Amino acid sequence: MIVCVAQTKPVAGNIPANIDRHCHLIEQAASAAADAIFFPELSLTGYEPTLAATLVVTPDDARLAVFQQLSDLHQIVIGVGAPTRQKPGICISMLIFQPNQAQQLYSKQYLHSDEEPFFVSGTGFPSLLIRKQPIALAICYELSIPEHTATACANGATVYIASVAKSVRGVDKALSRLSDIASTYAIPVLMANCVGEADGELCAGSSSIWNKYGERIGQLDAEHEGLLLMDSTTQRVIAKSG
| pLDDT of 103 above 90 | yes
CB neighbour list of residue 188: distance below 8 Å, 6 or more residues apart: 158, 159, 160, 182, 209, 210, 211, 212, 230, 232, 235
**pLDDT, tens digit, for every residue of 4-18?**
999 999 999 999 999
Report all structural domains of the chain as residue ranges with CATH numbers, in order of start: 2-241 (3.60.110.10)
**pLDDT, tens digit, for every residue of 49-62?**
999 999 999 988 99
* Cβ atoms within 10 Å of 92's Cβ, excluding its own: 30
Q: Which pTM was predicted? A: 0.97
Q: What is the rounded average pLDDT of the residues 141-145?
A: 97
Of 126 and 149, the one with more pLDDT: 149
**pLDDT, tens digit, for every residue of 112-122?**
999 999 999 99
Q: What is the rounded average pLDDT of the residues 159-183?
A: 97
Largest distance between two CA atoms of the chain: 43
